[in-house]
Amino acid sequence: MKRQVTWEKYRKMIVQLLTFALIYLIFVLPTIVIGLIQTYWFPTFLDDIQFSLLFYLYYYLYVLTPIAYLISFPRLLKKLIPPYGDCRVDRLGRRILPTVNTIEQIQ
């Protein structure tokens, strides 16, 4: 039996995979390109920049991966970020936050 592939079902998964691959390529590709240039053509090509700046791109990779993961799952993000409580919505769709009682209002 052949099943017809529905791309709508797999669109979210493909977007997540491409997001993580793109983040990885953006932060790792400069180091790889400079390493290849140093290996095959110029051994001192961008040595100072590679060790002072490009080395830290890997840290951004590890910081942005969980953020991209949370953004790609909106239901999980809604559970982690608490709602505004019992806020109301006006006619224009803006949220009206509940007022906080101050000491002057209580007395």
Q: What is the pTM of this model?
A: 0.56
**Contact predicate 88/95, CB 8 Å:** yes
Q: How many domains does the chain have?
A: 1
Higher per-residue pLDDT: 43 or 82: 43
Q: Residue 27 falls within a domain, yes or no?
A: yes
- Domain containing residue 52: 7-82
Q: Residue 23 falls within a domain, yes or no?
A: yes
> Which is it for strands 88-89 and 95-96: parallel, antiparallel or unpaired?
antiparallel
Q: What is the pLDDT of residues 16-69, one digit of tens each?
A: 888 888 888 888 888 888 888 888 998 888 887 777 777 788 788 888 888 888
**AA letter at 36:** L
**AA letter at 4:** Q
Distance, CA of 28 to CA of 24 (rounded, Å): 6
Taking Cα atoms as reference points, which of 86, 81, 83, 107 lies closest to residue 96?
86
What pLDDT does 73 receive? 77
Q: Residue 48 falls within a domain, yes or no?
A: yes
Is 98 a residue whose pLDDT tops 70? no
Enumerate residues 6+ apart whose C-beta is below 8 A from 89.
95, 96
Q: Residue 89 falls within a domain, yes or no?
A: no
Distance, CA of 80 to CA of 83 (rounded, Å): 9
**Contact predicate 50/60, CB 8 Å:** no
Q: Residue 26 falls within a domain, yes or no?
A: yes
